[in-house]
Amino acid sequence: MTTSKQISRESLNALQARLQGAIIAPGDPGYDSARMAWNLSVQQFPAAVIMAADTADVAEAVRFARQAGLKVGVQATGHNVIRPADGSLLINTSQMAGVSVDAAARTARIEAGAQWGAVLAKTQAAGLAPLLGSSPGVGAVAYTLGGGLGWLARKYGLAADTARSFEVVTADGRTLHVSQNENADLFWGLRGGGGGFALVTAMEIDLFPVTTIFGGNLVYPAALAGEVLRRYREWIGSLPLEFTTSVALMNLPPLPMVPEFLRGKSVIMVRGCHCGAPEEGQALLQPWLDWQAPVANLFHPMPFSDVAQVSNDPHDPVPGHTTGAWLRDLSDSVLDTLVEYGVSNNGSSPLVSTEVRHVAGAMASGDRNAAAFPGRDQSFLLGAVGMAPTPELHARVVAFSNTFKRALQPHISGLYVNFVEGQEAREAAADSYPPETLQRLAALKAQYDPDHLLDYSYQFITGHDVA
Ligand SMILES: Cc1cc2nc3c(=O)[nH]c(=O)nc-3n(C[C@H](O)[C@H](O)[C@H](O)COP(=O)(O)OP(=O)(O)OC[C@H]3O[C@@H](n4cnc5c(N)ncnc54)[C@H](O)[C@@H]3O)c2cc1C
């Protein structure tokens, strides 16, 4: 496949002379790995990839794209490619991965390409924790721009609420500091509205004093799924905010990366992370153990630095499709639909994981006027993931996920932008926001990027009319 726009080698050479990082263009060795995303199902063919080394590189690349008539894409890891960067100048931030911690102020400054795992390591060394999500391989910045709900969500809330400031490069190549006091409109939009208004080069976030958790999974056979889901619904009603939990229907592939006792099996897992005293977490889990011995009880006290063990998300790149939604209730009808679509009987479901996270808690008390994030009153977050190693399987997972979500439609109360990707994210992200927030976000785009140069976001922001 060729790019829709070719840039001359001379102009790229001239740009290279102004950059610290490398430019990788079609035909160069390394182009095929530079254009890849963590999600291997994504195929994108940028006009060139800029491996940005610093903010000056990002600003230079944005100005170059404007002059060359190219759109701009940006990628830290490629966990959530909203619009493939076909024919665009793709700014890859993975080398801008600096993290510094101010232990006294309980803050961290995080560059655009840093992954949560690196942030976690640095902050835990200072006895502090960021509000990372389930996977340490996810980019900290884009996660935060979408809201950001992880294993401390009920107690400490949204990652977006922890952002104190952003450093950005705007579509006209300026660098701006963005906070409650400077460019406050942009600060509001970047906290939950995604990154389509300006390219974030770094952010400063608040940290929390969490070093030990009681976390893990109880594994039950999928045959008990209906009963486990009903017990889960009851159980969470009595849990304190220290306990963030989820319930996940898993159809585990017969692969070496899966523990042997789970390989090729369908199971239901009750997951959780309790950030209070471990013995309190243990006592709160006891009703499950009194009810029925699980196939495995993987809960134990652990350093927060090991929190990735709770979800055990894949670290290495995989081909997949993710979808999700806020669920307004866990009625019997919802639970039956989860079992119908989430448990695979002889290959009936191509989903690997169908998880409902219980997220009600601290995010509800965040300042509603301070951030564009629209989901503060939501309680239940559905995420469904299927593996898709071929285009045919990808199409099957997408079609199945769409049917699943149609079956749940009466109970869906909106989308969480971090849990939708690709075409669904482009076309349906507007369903995430109330009309007045949509209007305000569109006005921000018009103010900061009237020519729609930054082309990597949702359709209502980029103004695209093509899927
Ligand atoms: C395995 C897995 C686990 C996850 N767990 C959670 C979870 O627990 N909680 C949660 O809330 N979310 C979770 N997510 C969703 C995740 O937060 C989003 O996918 C997030 O957008 C990924 O960011 P990234 O930088 O890794 O990916 P990328 O694909 O690199 O970026 C994602 C989007 O942000 C844009 N972007 C990237 N960098 C910038 C920048 N510097 N400035 C402006 N825009 C930018 C990109 O153009 C793209 O549209 C998970 C996703 C996966 C795949």
Given the CA of residue 82, which atom of ligand 1 is nearest to it?
49
- Place 3 in a pLDDT band, splitting at 50, 70 and 90: very low
| Domains identified in the chain and CATH numbers | 9-92 (3.30.43.10), 99-209+432-449 (3.30.465.10), 212-419 (3.40.462.20)
Which residues approach ligand 1 with their CB closer than 6 A?
Answer: 74-82, 93, 112, 133-135, 138-139, 141-143, 146-150, 195, 199-200, 313, 322, 418, 456
- Nearest-atom index, ligand 1, CA of 320: 53
Residue 303: beta bridge partners? 212
Contacts of residue 116, Cβ cutoff 8 Å, sequence gap at least 6: 130, 132, 133, 135, 136, 137, 138, 139, 140, 143
What pLDDT does 6 receive? 74
CA-to-CA distance for 72 and 420, rounded, in angstroms? 21
Residue 55 CA to its chain's centroid (Å): 23
Tens of pLDDT along 24-67?
999 999 999 999 999 999 999 999 999 999 999 999 999 999 99
Mean pLDDT of 14-19: 98
Residue 215 confidence class, pLDDT cut points 50, 70, 90:
very high
Q: Are 428 and 415 in contact (CB under 8 A)?
A: yes
Query: Where residue 467 falls among pLDDT bands split at 50, 70, 90?
Result: very low
CA quadruple 187, 422, 159, 435: dihedral sign: positive
The span from the CA of 192 to the CA of 159, in Å, is: 9
Kindly give the distance from the C-alpha atom of residue 79 to the centroid of ligand 1, in angstroms, as a whole number. Answer: 5
Q: Which pLDDT does position 462 carry in this prediction?
A: 77
Residues 94-124 pLDDT 10s: 999 999 999 999 999 999 999 999 999 999 9
Kindly provide the residue ranges of all beta strands, DSSP E only, lying in 103-153, ordered along the sequence.
107-111
Closest residue to atom 52 of ligand 1, CA basis: 79
Q: How far is the CA of 297 from the centre of ligand 1 (A)?
A: 31
Only one residue has tokens 């996660």, namely: 143
Instruction: Specify the ligand 1 atom closest to the Cα of 135.
Output: 3
Closest atom, ligand 1, to C-alpha of 134: 8
Distance 84 CA to ligand 1 centre (A): 14
Q: What percent of the chain has pLDDT over 70?
A: 98
Helix, strand, coil percent content, the chain, rounded in steps of 5: 35, 25, 40
User: Taking the model in full, what pTM does it have?
Assistant: 0.97
For atom 37 of ligand 1, the residue with the nearest CA is: 75
Question: Which atom of ligand 1 is the closest one to the Cα of 81?
Answer: 29
The 10s digit of each residue's pLDDT in 273-290 is 999 999 999 999 999 999
Residue 143 Cα, ligand 1 centroid: separation in angstroms? 5
Amino acid at 101: V
